[in-house]
């Protein structure tokens, strides 16, 4: 079941014109939200970001926050889901194929809902690769979640070819910008650092919550311009987004160089949680992940 322009329709019956500018040009925006126990996580923050993007791209906001949230809750109810993800997509509609729309077109509003499955792997750790795909830090696609996601797709594919699960993208000045599917934080000394939006970081929802907290696991959280040297020196590298919350990098590949971060203690602690006879205090990286994940509840 999906919600399309104010109506609930079976997924197989949902239809958009092949002349929609989302299909022709990738013109549109989206948000991906997490839900569990019937609660949509940080809905207001996602809605505010979507409305900001809609204003920038001159897309009409045809529904209220209450209408969208009500539709999302109904999809969760109909699917009988306890936890999962929601996707809100707004396309530019059928305004012609030119770069400037030839005529005014009504935007299409779409909500889909997917529940978690027992087969999805749950892990605190991820391997990353620094890729050659550049993050154009001054472009709108770096500031907003648009349907033009081809750079992120190419970056992720390049990372997978290197044996990693996600990519680290650098900007035009060879500074760290973000991951293909999230923000990046470096744990260095007593600080948790993340690139500023001016360096190409997506203004992520979880990222904003972390910075709002100012401290995570007794680490000071702030923005800072970072480069590849900081990855080599970091005590830990963490990827965040609204769906995973946070994951720590184990291996980071940079061409022929492989950086390995110590996560074994955290793995041992996870095992200890399942073995009552083992007494171990939580290591620092695990505490950081746990504190970040609390923000997504």
Mean pLDDT of the region 182-199? 97
**pLDDT above 90: residue 100:** no
Q: What single-letter DSSP state applies at residue 140?
A: H
Give the per-residue pLDDT at 264.
57
Same fold, 2-115 and 125-294: no
Mean of pLDDT values over 102-106? 78
121 vs 174: which has the higher pLDDT: 174
> SS3 for 171?
strand
Annotation: CATH topology of 2-115: D-amino Acid Aminotransferase; Chain A, domain 1 (3.30.470)
Judge contact between 57 and 148, C-beta under 8 A.
no
CATH T-level fold of 125-294? D-amino Acid Aminotransferase; Chain A, domain 2 (3.20.10)
Domain boundaries, the chain: 2-115, 125-294
State how far the alpha carbon of 201 is from the alpha carbons of 60, 115, 139, 295, in Å.
Answer: 26, 28, 11, 19
HEC string of 174-224?
A: CCEEEECCEEEEEEECCEEEECCHHHCCCCCHHHHHHHHHCEECCEEEEEC
- Tell me the β-bridge partners of 257: 254
- Rounded to an integer, the average pLDDT of 269-289 is 56
- Render pLDDT for 200-220 as a digit per residue (tens, 0 to 9): 999 999 999 999 999 999 999
Strand partners, 220: 191, 215
Scan for tokens 């990098």, then name that residue.
249
pLDDT of residue 118: 65
Question: 219 - beta bridge partners?
Answer: 216
Per residue in 140-170, pLDDT tens? 999 999 999 999 999 999 999 999 999 999 9
**Tokens 């209220």 belong to residue:** 64
Which residue is it, tokens 């939580």?
282
Q: What is the pLDDT of residues 108-123, one digit of tens each?
A: 999 999 999 865 556 8
Q: What is the 3-state secondary structure (H, E, C) of 30-87?
A: EEEEEEECCEECCHHHHHHHHHHHHHHCCCCCCCCHHHHHHHHHHHHHHHCCCEEEEE
| Average of per-residue pLDDT values in the chain | 91
Examine the pLDDT at 271 and tell me if it is beyond 50.
Answer: no
Please write the tens of the pLDDT for every residue from 215-255: 999 999 999 999 999 999 999 999 999 999 999 999 999 99
Q: How far apart are CA 68 and CA 110, in angstroms?
A: 10
pLDDT at position 277: 38
pLDDT at 275: 42
Residue 101: which pLDDT band, with cuts at 50, 70 and 90? confident
Residue 282 has pLDDT above 60, yes or no: no
**pTM: predicted TM-score of the whole model, two decimal places:** 0.91
Rounded to an integer, the average pLDDT of 251-277 is: 67
CA 222 to CA 228: how far, in whole Å?
Answer: 18
Q: Do strands 125-135 and 166-171 pair parallel, antiparallel, or not at all (unpaired)?
A: parallel
């Amino acid at each position: 079941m999906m919600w399309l322009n104010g109506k609930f329709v079976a997924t197989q019956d949902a239809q958009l014109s092949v002349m929609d500018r989302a299909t022709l040009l990738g013109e549109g925006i989206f948000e991906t939200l997490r839900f569990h126990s019937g609660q949509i996580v940080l809905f207001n923050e996602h809605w505010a970001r979507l409305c900001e993007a809609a204003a920038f791209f001159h897309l009409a906001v045809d529904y209220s926050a209450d209408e969208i949230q009500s539709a999302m809750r109904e999809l969760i109810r109909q699917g009988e889901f306890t936890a999962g993800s929601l996707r809100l997509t707004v396309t530019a509609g059928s305004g012609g194929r030119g770069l400037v729309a030839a005529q005014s077109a009504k935007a299409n509003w779409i909500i889909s809902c997917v529940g978690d499955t027992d087969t999805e792997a749950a892990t605190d750790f991820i391997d990353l690769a620094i890729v050659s795909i550049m993050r154009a830090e001054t472009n709108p696609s770096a500031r907003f979640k648009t349907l033009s996601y081809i750079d992120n797709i190419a970056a992720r594919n390049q990372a997978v070819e290197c044996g990693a699960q996600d990519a680290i993208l650098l900007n035009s000045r060879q500074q760290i910008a973000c991951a293909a599917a999230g923000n990046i934080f470096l744990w260095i000394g007593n600080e948790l650092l993340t690139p500023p939006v001016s360096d190409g970081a997506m203004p992520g929802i979880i990222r904003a919550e972390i910075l709002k907290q100012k401290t995570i696991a007794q680490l000071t959280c702030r923005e800072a311009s970072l480069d590849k040297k900081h990855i080599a020196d970091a005590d830990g590298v963490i990827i965040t987004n609204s769906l995973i919350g946070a994951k720590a990098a184990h291996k980071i590949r940079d061409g022929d160089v492989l950086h390995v971060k110590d996560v074994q203690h955290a793995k041992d602690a996870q095992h200890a949680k399942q073995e009552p006879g083992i007494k171990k205090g939580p290591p620092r990286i695990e505490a950081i992940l746990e504190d970040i994940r609390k923000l997504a509840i």
